[in-house]
């Protein structure tokens, strides 16, 4: 009985890890499909450059003209803040100019894994 309980706990933990960890390779495809209309990795477009965004404070691309909301933000981009940002930007930086949201949590995790891999962190 005890073994069964331990197995169930281990299985639950593995499941939680699997669902919260993104896949950078899938993330690259998802990024190209959903983000590159507005973002490029190495040049400002409708939105700022994103190659080194993971681990950086928000609103610091010198080539990009941010909204006042974004300039005044004190957020650092990590797994948690990026996930909330992509799900609902207003909940992270109210009044920002990024008119986009990604409802699919596993796609968000994949894209975040891709941005993390690009940043080398
Ligand atoms: C419709 C255009 C559009 C789309 C699509 C879009 N973004 Fe953005 N994004 C923006 C704009 C504009 C800003 C700057 C907002 C501001 O200045 O208020 C921004 C800002 C950001 C920032 C903050 C950058 C910084 O320098 O702090 C991140 C991170 C980001 N976007 C990630 C993404 C990702 C990942 C995707 C795809 C899932 C995506 N965006 C899709 C327009 C877009």
Q: Domain containing 76 — which CATH number? A: 1.10.760.10
Look at residue 99 and tell me if it is in a domain.
Answer: yes
Of the chain, the end-to-end C-alpha distance in Å amounts to 42
Q: How many domains does the chain have?
A: 1
Look at residue 17 and tell me if it is in a domain.
Answer: no
pTM: 0.88
3-state secondary structure of 76: strand
What average pLDDT score do residues 11-25 get?
A: 66
Alpha helices in 1-121 (DSSP H): 2-20, 24-34, 68-71, 79-87, 105-119
In this structure, what token pair is assigned to residue 76? 């650092």
CA distance 69 to 67: 5
Look at residue 7 and tell me if it is in a domain.
Answer: no
Looking at residue 21, its pLDDT comes to 85
Residue of 37, 45, 48 to mutate, ligand 1, most atoms within 8 A of C-beta: 48
Residue of 24, 38, 70, 88 to mutate, ligand 1, most atoms within 8 A of C-beta: 38
Q: What is the pLDDT of residues 50-80, one digit of tens each?
A: 999 999 999 999 999 999 999 999 999 999 9
Look at residue 2 and tell me if it is in a domain.
Answer: no
pLDDT at 15 over 80: no
Query: Cα-atom radius of gyration of the chain, to the nearest Å?
Result: 17
Q: Is the CB of 96 under 6 A from ligand 1?
A: yes
Q: What is the pLDDT of residues 97-108, one digit of tens each?
A: 999 999 999 999
Other C-beta atoms lying within 10 Å of the C-beta of residue 11? 10
Look at residue 89 and tell me if it is in a domain.
Answer: yes
Look at residue 1 and tell me if it is in a domain.
Answer: no
Q: Is the CB of 53 under 6 A from ligand 1?
A: yes
Range of the domain at 55: 23-119
Looking at residue 121, its pLDDT comes to 79
Q: Which residue has the higher pLDDT, 49 or 9?
A: 49
Looking at residue 5, its pLDDT comes to 64
Look at residue 103 and tell me if it is in a domain.
Answer: yes
Look at residue 91 and tell me if it is in a domain.
Answer: yes
């Amino acid at each position: 009985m005890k073994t069964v309980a331990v197995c169930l706990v281990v299985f639950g933990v593995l499941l939680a890890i699997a669902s919260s960890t993104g896949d950078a390779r899938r993330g690259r495809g998802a990024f190209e499909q959903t983000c590159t209309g507005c973002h490029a990795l190495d040049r400002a477009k409708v939105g700022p450059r994103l190659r080194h965004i993971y681990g950086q404070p928000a609103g610091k691309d010198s080539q990009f003209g941010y909204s006042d909301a974004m300039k005044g933000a004190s957020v650092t981009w990590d797994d948690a803040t990026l996930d909330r940002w992509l799900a609902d930007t207003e909940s992270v930086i109210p009044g920002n100019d990024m008119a986009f949201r990604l409802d699919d949590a596993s796609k968000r995790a994949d894209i975040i894994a891709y941005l993390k891999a690009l940043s080398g962190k």
